[in-house]
Structure 1
């Protein structure tokens, strides 16, 4: 009987199989047209189905009539009726619930709703719309907790601060991970090649990167090919840039009047009035072209892209050009074995300018001197100790050529559905060649410059510098993911190794001919030759692990542990251990939430983690010998020798950041409202700082670098996004995010406070990093006003009756005698604010009507101050002044308290130079139009979009300088000396797909 039953069952299965049809097809993203991996295709009412491969392809046996249920995390579920066709192509639209999206985390991916740490994700298509060189510029204002400080200089990368500044002297660079390759620089990445950018913000999410995670992690995933029809896309942007804001300087008449008042003798303006900034700035063109080709089969896919970018700087002679190429391939050798290779090449040509001298001189140069006259440069140094700003730029040719090859390959073996072995190797190779040529010029009227003065270069000279940099990383991981009823468990373990080497060699000679085809070291005077070299080498070895647990999609647990060994530390402190744990509670899955109709998803999360920072000099703990030092034995002839001239701490250890994070994430009102609120408390300990040592030790600096400081950042983050449809043809979206951060040095532990931000001889320092204050706080004299009369000067006394400023005159600044000692000196300085904002925010708007799409975003800072360093650098009577100084200065009887009388400069560091850093800027506005499908079909075009975009249209600010966005190292950021002005851009473009 049993045998008969088995036979009948087999016959039934056989007939059922014969009655089924083979269906193949592809599931694609409705918007990008790219295949979606991991999509579930289920036959409704059964437990039968299939899953798409890496290219979105699937194969399935289906009965003659059936309903297919197609679902994937991050997309709307769709039901499709099967009517007997052999192939079926399906497109899915994105789910409104952002918490259902899949995001990239360290060494893997997770659903946003399953993540217990603080992360944010931005789509590549949103970044590519902006006329920027690097994706980080396009992120500005879009993510809470992430402050991006941009420079207008072509080829430069913005500074990124994630949840505040957590170090003083060690590196602050954010870690970038590009297709598995770790790097500190993404200036080679074409924004059009990016699929997604995921930002890991808290220690729980970055702990998997251990020693690299202290400053946050930005993971960039580039595009891959899809199987099926060949896809070709071209997009471009062409536009013009100008300085977003110019400082108005005094013209010739205003300058003459100011100098007459300052010197007490009449000064004639003459017939020339030179706008020096107008002489060195220009309207600059930019263009960006990108072509991509993707396609493939079920066994192999490819993505090829070519990009060309040209960005003229708004400073004359400045231009940056970049060519990029990328080839990403994936191969399915067997259903259980896949390999892939992602490679990119970038070639850049950066024609830099001598901005330091040019900007300083353009600010100070007298407007009564012509920039160029009768073919010769005006001789500003004949009139004052300032060079001709135009000649400063054109006197030298500074060119850097960069060739960069970056790639990663992987092998992935999946013997079981729940077990994956993956090995990947990545490399980053850079060849940089810099050539700086300074022309010969005299001041005798025969070459370049008018007769007289002291601006001259009697001998031409050439510096050639070559740098080779290589970095590799090798990751090996094993992942196990299994579900038992309501329990989902995953674990990943692995090893990773990384090594870095850099070598630089430079040579210098004078009297090199002026013809550019002869700019080689061997054409110069061999008797003037000097050579130098430098380098660095370090390595890391690490062990990583992560465990995830999910119960009923309600209770979440994530734990990680990474052990890092770094060659940058002594053997006894070489290893650091970086754990983290995160908990999540999805309240919306609880039974008591089932009756409500407000939230689709509501999640609470809490996490704790510890990460490190090893960005110190590789010889930071090694005592080295300084050669070629002269020493006289017994008062005789000096003899060259070597000596130890510094003391180093042989027990240097990791800077460690420990962070606690609490947050709530939700999706509400049928997905129209998405939100996230978070609180973090981040303490960075064992920070590197200089500690004084006794002079008898022989250390030439009198300090030793050691671990003796702590910094704390606490903050609140908020992000809300609303999107809705008014009708079938009209929709809109509104988003906003804000971050409230407090930064403070909480313990120097005997360390020496850091004095930094020197500006000229009169202001040796302007910032101080000390206990109880933010890193790099301004530390200056407090201005109380302007002395109005001589009696006021004689009446300004300390508690002992001593006249505090006896040498002052009416119209001079009145400074606070903070320590009441009867005189004004450095002991009277006070803390006067920080460049770090108390609040930074972003606002994003969008509106769609039929084929038109409009978007706009704004960014801003509140609660910070900046230092007008260029005004502080004015050091002589004949230096020019800003127009506001010429018109707003004190005169007898005016009662003015904010601007002193006409003076010769050389003012001490004071609150006079400190201004509000608050600003709000309309960062980007874009209007686009997508051509109708009927028109495209006739032209045999898949997609076509034209757009016009404007960037940095206007900025509301109080600061009188070029820009309140002033990137720099933590202890001296926020000082404007020769910052490249922020630029505003107007561009048009087109995107076409075939």
Structure 2
């Protein structure tokens, strides 16, 4: 590092010395205007090429500086094409800058290479790093919400939770529906170690162009490129923000009086019991507030970059500290990155990129905590004088605050990610590239449960069943690595200024290995310094485990891109993949695409289009994201078996497996066009796609007589499809030299459907009170709700007597109870009367944004939303005992004699079956981010010895317009079949933060 810095300083010094000796300085003056409007441009950077000398234009667009007569002036301005003018001893310049057509010049990453946006034949979207860093979010995918058409992002309010990303719908059930991430060439499934401030761009491969990644690319590819050094003096940047988070919305639970009124109907015997009459218990508690807090967060990033023609460097360090809004929840991460490039010679280049991250987290069991928050009686105090209210003594659930305080879960994660690469150019048009990529993780987990009694030493009132007789410690160590060796040859050449040809060929090998070891002990001391397994005693109910995984892949890749006269485009790629995760190891994946830049035709030169490109692509991709031994038949050892009269330990094959498993294949057609109007101030894209998944893995039920303990058989017997339309548009303009603005919007329509499933056998999931909620079946979206049809509330006994009886629940027809439709008209209400009632998958989703800059001020706002999806409000039916609490809205609207509601029943019990009563609209529109910034004028900044100072205020999730009665319609879940069921989700958070960007 010191050597690179020293060399940089020496090179700069020598350059300045030579210029001073051989060139005579002159005073150069001039004015910079917009080439289209003629208006003066304020704040244009005017610099002397090869130096740090420079000024900015004033309010009249004028500039003046001293420079050598043989030097070159460089003019740069955001939104305009940079211009370089040799001085040639001139003293007066009249400079006209042209607005930049960014859509035409933009370079996107397409996998194992880059391509100009105008030459791309596939559906590829690109987001700049500036958009990512604008939002106070931990992962870059969270910043994609509402920015890219066809990409749905579901995030959690819990720190360190990886967002769920769906590109053009859900394409698998058992093999995973998450996209592949590629970070500077490293293939991974987790990008929570990436520092957002290090990102240059995020490119999304949405269509079959992702086939260059073959068996990994069925669900799309997100490519992240991080910053590199630039030649010149060292540049030091410091970015920081600090703020707090709170629940964006909360569910109001019944207060003391509402709860008592409800018990008089739901549990009249409890009210009549003088020993435990609610009115004799003095407490009143909002349990959601009792376990929550305003959470502090801070983010600091420091980087230095620079170099010369021989070596470039970029080094950064980042620290994040986030408290969760649930008490005791915390996350901290420290990341350092070094991206270096050394030009060994004119033909040989060496690069290395390495990221080291270390994070600690204290997670919480949100399911257990919120499962009790929703049900705990509000008449019990949370804590008094250090002692907890005894909710379990009220024949109710445990005290959720006690759950938090008496559990200490801790994880420590260390990760190394990066690569080393050599690029050799024997001739200008030919590049040999070899890169070794590594992603290694070393994790440690400790979960400690404190001992506590159910007597007065813990609770305000003794008794109940919430106690822990022994302390318990669980420890697990996980180690894993995955390496990838890429070797490619690229030939890139233009012939006769008309034919541009790029050829790529290569071989890629991968290997991944993981192992874990865990154990549990009881009676471990409460001192954290003694949290080791050998300090405690064996737990007869726990078993130590050791396991792991191993997989390999070998791939051959090829691609050709051809452009004729920048008008006619052709691309094709092929990848031959071999994977150890299937018995049928080899498969071939491909894509072909074509494009026509119509606006380059002579007959379009004077038309309304600045740019018009038609494109289409078709290809096949794969998915091998399954367990490595799913097709391997194994024996279960140490099972008792009588050999004659002797009992011995034997080994038995219990699992029935398909030994001919193969990967899922996705065939996708994409037809679209890109357009630009008014010198590309208005740009847009439209895409139609048809994506079909064949040979999808699914579980087939087996008769118990066959002996399989799970009674399932996993095989390639399903087919899914996603069809949709994506539309996006953006307007960018400058009103005058003071004001510029931009407006963007996108919307996507997607229809998900199960085409073939086990020859007609459905998959049920989402248990509630022993009854499933979703059914994945032919002709329906994945994870559709399959429930009874609620048609109102019984108003009187005559309606009860006339209604069909229930036959599958302990709940009988009664006045104030829910009525259900006898769909099949067989005179009874049973499971055969269930109907499909929507899905959590939205039919429409998208966003819009706008931004404006006025002199030194900038303001931006981003909106995100979806429509056409449903949510199953399972928490509304989470009552397991007669004393569980209810929601305040239901307490006010339920059926009573004085308020004979026709929609809400008098009571909801554990026997209330799943029905349309619990299904609500999931449509919402959220102000995802709003930011107000101020950039300190350059004259003041330079007097302070700096290059840039910007300050800003920002808010994430400021408000959400929704119809759903729950806390958030955005449900975070990794379970594909039950994602729309709202039972115990971590609250979505609202963030307020203040930040600074400083550059030296």
**2:849 match:** 844
**Equivalent in 810, 819, 826 of residue 814 of structure 1:** 819
**1:985 match:** 991
Q: Distance in 2 between matches of 1:666 and 1:263?
A: 66
Is the CA contact 1:147–1:160 (under 8 Å) kept in the aligned structure 2?
yes
Is the CA contact 1:74–1:98 (under 8 Å) kept in the aligned structure 2?
no
* Pair 1:410 & 2:421 matched: yes
CA spacing shift, 1:32–1:740, aligned 2, 3 Å:
farther
Partner of 2:344: helix, strand, or coil?
strand
**1:160 match:** 165
**Equivalent in 501, 506, 525 of residue 537 of structure 2:** 525
CA spacing shift, 1:390–1:950, aligned 2, 3 Å:
same
**1:890 match:** 895
**2:702 match:** 693
1:220-369 map, 5 Å? 220-264=224-268, 266=271, 268-269=278-279, 270-369=281-380
Q: Distance in 2 between matches of 1:582 and 1:168?
A: 29
**2:550 match:** 537
| Residues 386-395 or 439-448, more deviating | 439-448
CA spacing shift, 1:244–1:663, aligned 2, 3 Å:
same
Is the CA contact 2:435–2:485 (under 8 Å) kept in the aligned structure 1?
yes
TM-aligned CA deviation for residue 70 of structure 1: 10
CA spacing shift, 1:178–1:515, aligned 2, 3 Å:
same
1:718-729 map, 5 Å? 718-729=727-738
| Residues 666-675 or 454-463, more deviating | 666-675
TM-aligned CA deviation for residue 630 of structure 1: 3.9
* Pair 1:765 & 2:772 matched: yes
CA spacing shift, 1:405–1:335, aligned 2, 3 Å:
same
Q: Distance in 1 between matches of 2:166 and 2:415?
A: 26
Q: Distance in 1 between matches of 2:810 and 2:228?
A: 71
TM-aligned CA deviation for residue 447 of structure 1: 4.2
**Equivalent in 517, 520, 525 of residue 505 of structure 1:** 517
TM-aligned CA deviation for residue 392 of structure 1: 1.1
TM-aligned CA deviation for residue 642 of structure 1: 2.5
Partner of 2:104: helix, strand, or coil?
helix
**1:714 match:** 723
Residue deviations 1:618-662 (CA, integer Å, cap 9, x gap): 11111111223345678x896543311110001111100000000
Q: Distance in 2 between matches of 1:118 and 1:951?
A: 29
* Pair 1:778 & 2:785 matched: yes
**1:3 match:** none
**1:212 match:** 216
| Residues 709-718 or 92-101, more deviating | 92-101
TM-aligned CA deviation for residue 214 of structure 1: 0.5
**Equivalent in 493, 496, 507 of residue 495 of structure 1:** 507
Q: Distance in 1 between matches of 2:452 and 2:97?
A: 67
**2:199 match:** 194
**1:739 match:** 748
**2:570 match:** 557
1:367-406 map, 5 Å? 367-406=378-417
Partner of 2:109: helix, strand, or coil?
strand
**Equivalent in 856, 868, 871 of residue 876 of structure 2:** 871
TM-aligned CA deviation for residue 892 of structure 1: 3.2
1:631-642 map, 5 Å? 631=641, 640-642=649-651
Q: Distance in 1 between matches of 2:701 and 2:45?
A: 60
CA spacing shift, 1:133–1:291, aligned 2, 3 Å:
same
Q: Distance in 2 between matches of 1:584 and 1:607?
A: 9
* Pair 1:972 & 2:985 matched: no
**2:32 match:** none
Q: Distance in 2 between matches of 1:432 and 1:208?
A: 32
Q: Distance in 2 between matches of 1:192 and 1:334?
A: 31
TM-aligned CA deviation for residue 533 of structure 1: 1.2
**2:582 match:** 569
Is the CA contact 1:805–1:823 (under 8 Å) kept in the aligned structure 2?
no
| Residues 904-913 or 766-775, more deviating | 904-913
CA root-mean-square deviation: 2.7
Residue deviations 1:332-385 (CA, integer Å, cap 9, x gap): 010111010000100000111122211110110001111112322111111124
How does the TM-score come out when normalised to structure 1? 0.90
Partner of 1:646: helix, strand, or coil?
coil
TM-aligned CA deviation for residue 453 of structure 1: 0.5
* Pair 1:98 & 2:103 matched: yes
Partner of 1:827: helix, strand, or coil?
helix
Partner of 2:772: helix, strand, or coil?
coil
Is the CA contact 1:431–1:468 (under 8 Å) kept in the aligned structure 2?
yes
Q: Distance in 2 between matches of 1:804 and 1:691?
A: 27
Is the CA contact 1:74–1:101 (under 8 Å) kept in the aligned structure 2?
no
Residue deviations 1:119-164 (CA, integer Å, cap 9, x gap): 0001101111111101111111100010000000001110000000
| Residues 880-889 or 685-694, more deviating | 685-694
Residue deviations 1:14-36 (CA, integer Å, cap 9, x gap): xxxxxxx999xxxxxx9999999
**Equivalent in 618, 621, 636 of residue 631 of structure 2:** 621
Q: Distance in 1 between matches of 2:947 and 2:96?
A: 15
**1:604 match:** 614
TM-aligned CA deviation for residue 390 of structure 1: 0.4
Q: Distance in 1 between matches of 2:46 and 2:800?
A: 77
Aligned length: 930
Partner of 2:374: helix, strand, or coil?
helix
1:81-96 map, 5 Å? 81-83=86-88, 95-96=100-101
CA spacing shift, 1:413–1:717, aligned 2, 3 Å:
same
Any stretches of 5+ residues in structure 1 without a counterpart? 1-20, 24-29, 38-62
CA spacing shift, 1:566–1:34, aligned 2, 3 Å:
farther
